[in-house]
Amino acid sequence: MRIAIHAFDDVTMFHLSVPQLVFDEVRHQGLADWESFLVADHAGPIRTAEGYTIADVRGLAAMTDADIVVLPSWTDDGSAVSPELRAAVLDAHGRGATIVGLCLGAIAVADTGLLDGRTAATHWHAAGHLAERHPAVTVDATALYVDHGDVLTSAGTASGLDACLHLVRTRLGAEAANRVARSLVVAPHREGGQAQFIERPVPQAETQDPIAVATAWASAHLDEPLTVDRLAAEAHLSRRSFVRAFRSAIGTTPAAWVRARRLDEARRLLETTDLPVDQVAVACGFTPVTFRQNFVAAFDSTPSRYRRRFDARHR
């Protein structure tokens, strides 16, 4: 897998490094032979917003055999993409490459026309600008990322990590994405439809924070009934205080978090064990019927089909 990452003068180091950090970790972990490299409108060094010079930057011709093209940000002045960059991105898309716009990079992707008639995410601060600049694009100012399969856009800052981990997950499976996330010490899975918020790190059991204590306990008891009252009891809070504190800390409802956590564990079991699907369902707190319904709704795949695609035991 070859990943071309577009660079330009005054790009921030953070935005430029996010896709490199995630995709290079895939190779470092021995999960797949992924290679990322920088491209610019013209080959040669670029200077970052922080004043660093990066020399090893290729020209747009290097996109020719890229499987993924990432526009990790965009210029502060909001200039339109150059005709050369637009042609290179459209050519890559026409060859089957996935086009990714992270943060303000969604604006550059929209400039190519690939988002016309579609929904896109970008940093909440730029949502109005993107909607005004491209009326044919439906801007979701709340989503972390929006994936159309061939084109993916994300919100700002840390959401780029979520979007890149999502790409790892869709291509290599949940266990591979979790390994990368653990190595980078970031949350392993935030759904694209989650609100744009900063989620605290994966909770550790020893912490005294009541929400972290409750979520750590729930993660170890997914096969049990996990009602709001039970979680509130583990947090030693009233139901009302727990729900309010949970939404403030995690950004979603306890029920939605539990469902997502159960589905993540189900994917791990499907990938790494030979447990029958019905036993996976029970181990994750579902009935066989509700498991299939929730799995298909979340991942557009049946559990059996997912296992055939991502069975890590046969790699």
Rounding to the nearest 10 degrees, give the CA dihedral for residues 155, 156, 158, 160: 60
Q: 228 or 188, which is more confident?
A: 228
DSSP string, 77-111: T-PPPPHHHHHHHHHHHHTT-EEEE-TTHHHHHHH
pLDDT exceeds cutoff 80 at 239: yes
DSSP one-letter code for 312: G
Question: What one-letter code names the amino acid at 144?
Answer: L
Q: What was the pLDDT predicted at 113?
A: 97
**How many other β-carbons are positioned within 10 Å of the β-carbon of residue 187?**
15
Contact, 108 vs 132, CB < 8 A? no
Mean pLDDT, range 289-298, rounded to an integer: 93
Q: What was the pLDDT predicted at 298?
A: 85
Domains of the chain by range and CATH? 2-183 (3.40.50.880), 210-251 (1.10.10.60), 256-314 (1.10.10.60)
Q: What was the pLDDT predicted at 67?
A: 97
| Distance between CA atoms of residues 265 and 189, nearest Å | 11
- The closest alpha carbon to 177, from 253, 255, 249, 271, belongs to 271
| Distance between CA atoms of residues 26 and 268, nearest Å | 17
pLDDT band at 204 (very low <50, low <70, confident <90, very high): very low
| Distance between CA atoms of residues 84 and 97, nearest Å | 17
Residues 6+ apart with CB under 8 A from 70: 3, 4, 5, 6, 19, 100, 101, 102, 105
| Distance between CA atoms of residues 251 and 243, nearest Å | 11
pLDDT band at 157 (very low <50, low <70, confident <90, very high): confident
Question: Percent of the chain, pLDDT > 70?
Answer: 92
Q: What was the pLDDT predicted at 200?
A: 34
**How many other β-carbons are positioned within 10 Å of the β-carbon of residue 281?**
24
Q: How far is CA 64 from the centre of its chain?
A: 25
- The closest alpha carbon to 63, from 43, 79, 82, belongs to 43
Mean pLDDT, range 301-314, rounded to an integer: 83
| Distance between CA atoms of residues 279 and 172, nearest Å | 23
- The closest alpha carbon to 187, from 221, 144, 223, belongs to 144
Largest CA distance in the chain: 60
The rounded mean pLDDT for the chain is 89
Q: 286 or 185, which is more confident?
A: 286
pLDDT exceeds cutoff 80 at 150: yes
User: Residue 162 is encoded by which pair of tokens?
Assistant: 């979520």
Q: What was the pLDDT predicted at 174?
A: 84
Mean pLDDT, range 11-22, rounded to an integer: 95
> Among 34-43, 47-56, 201-210, 220-229, which stretch is predicted with the lowest mean pLDDT?
201-210
Question: What one-letter code names the amino acid at 207?
Answer: T
Mean pLDDT, range 161-181, rounded to an integer: 90
Sheet holding 151-154, edge to edge: 35-39, 2-6, 68-71, 98-101, 151-154, 145-147
| Distance between CA atoms of residues 225 and 58, nearest Å | 54
